[in-house]
Amino acid sequence: MRRAKLNMAHDNHVQLDDNIQIGSEATDFGKKAFGIGGVALVLALVLGGGPFGREFLIAYLVAFMYSLAIGLGLLWFVTIQHLTNAKWSVVVRRVAEIIAANMSVLAVLSLFLIVPALMGNSTLYAWVDPAKVAADRVLKHKAGYLNIPFFAIRCVVYFGFWWLLSRHFLKRSVEQDTSGKAEINTKLQTLAAPSMIAFALTLTFATIDFVMSLDPGFFSTIFGVYYFGGAVACAYSFLALSLMWLQGKGRLLNSVNREHYHDLGKMMFAFGVVFWSYIAFSQFMLIWYGDVPEETHWFHDRFQGDWKIVSGALLACHFVIPFFGLLSRYVKRNRKTLAFWAFWILVIEYVDLYWLVMPTFGEDVIPSVLSLLVHLLAWVGVGGLFIGAAASRTKGLNLIPTKDPRLAASLAFENP
């Protein structure tokens, strides 16, 4: 195993023999990502019929929920590392903290979905239109929850909490680089416990609001857990690729090694394959066995025509193929093979979100060329702004929490 060269200074803090900062390269990359993302988003708006256009809103919803999944998955990762007092992950945690701190950007991007709803545009959400609510028994029954004022309040709570939590974790972690106070870890661990409960609730209800309420007649008690499984799979995959990109730029070469990639690979396997498959099957089995028309129609729409091919492809590409592909420890310890499966999971997660959203609107698997172009531009637009913000945030920051008291154990970490 390749370990970082380290020694202990007189103040008992680890001295790293590694390049742990990235300056102009990240700034330049961030500017390019911002530029590409901005242009792509403008083109998606123009070609998709404007901010209230049907093509734009549907494509933007898929793209936004995809980037949100990465951000929320990494925020969960940071929270769970503090909660469990994890040692192995210290050297990779700062990169996750930086990316998760993009919640402010995602909050702004969410306005493209929230504002049309607040203005009464029912293209995505039928419950926004009073006439539709009055004519539908189910919508009328859910009106106490699915109404514009309460929706606006919930969105403020969701993004406000995620922004404050991610900002606090990064701020206190960076503060420790200077102060070296070990009690910061204790305080963050104490905060992580109630935060995990709040995180679970906000993620679940946000998933219900933004995705499940597209079809307000659909009922599922684990829909949020389903989205959570995909979000965490995206997070570990994106984190692994981000670390590889940094090492390609000459950073973290000694600090992050195959032992850490091995653990990231195990989590990709656990969440991207096993956990997701378990939740997906549980949701399907319980609804199909219950045979309640208000619930089964959702799956019925996805098992008809060409959508049944996508449903079968998700089973194969989200479970069967990556199960055998990621099972071996050697695959997880090799950067090239791990990168392949990280890309695989990120691609299939987008397909999964596409499958969740598109059949609700009666869309074909392969819509018009224009619609596909808008989807691509929306994905590049949201993703470019998200990545650009993360890259720009790295300026002046250490990529490793240099005075975390668990750093030495992380550097010396070995898998059994």
Q: Which residues pair with 240 in a beta bridge?
A: none
Q: Is the model's pLDDT at 5 over the cut of 70?
A: no
Q: Report the pLDDT value the prediction gives residue 15, as an integer from 0 to 100.
A: 67
Q: Is the model's pLDDT at 51 over the cut of 60?
A: yes
Q: Is the model's pLDDT at 7 over the cut of 80?
A: no
What is the 3-state secondary structure of 274-330?
HHHHHHHHHHHHHHHHHCCHHHHHHHHHHCCCCHHHHHHHHHHHHHHHHHHHHCCHH
pTM: 0.94
Q: What is the pLDDT of residues 94-125, one digit of tens each?
A: 999 999 999 999 999 999 999 999 999 999 99
CB 406 within 8 A of CB 87: yes
Range of weakest confidence among 19-23, 274-278, 312-316, 407-411 = 19-23
CB 209 within 8 A of CB 66: no
**Helix or strand or coil: residue 14?**
strand
Which of 404, 16, 409 minimizes the C-alpha distance to 184? 404
Q: What is the pLDDT of residues 208-258, one digit of tens each?
A: 999 999 998 888 999 999 999 999 999 999 999 999 999 999 999 999 999
- Give the H or E element holding residue 368: none
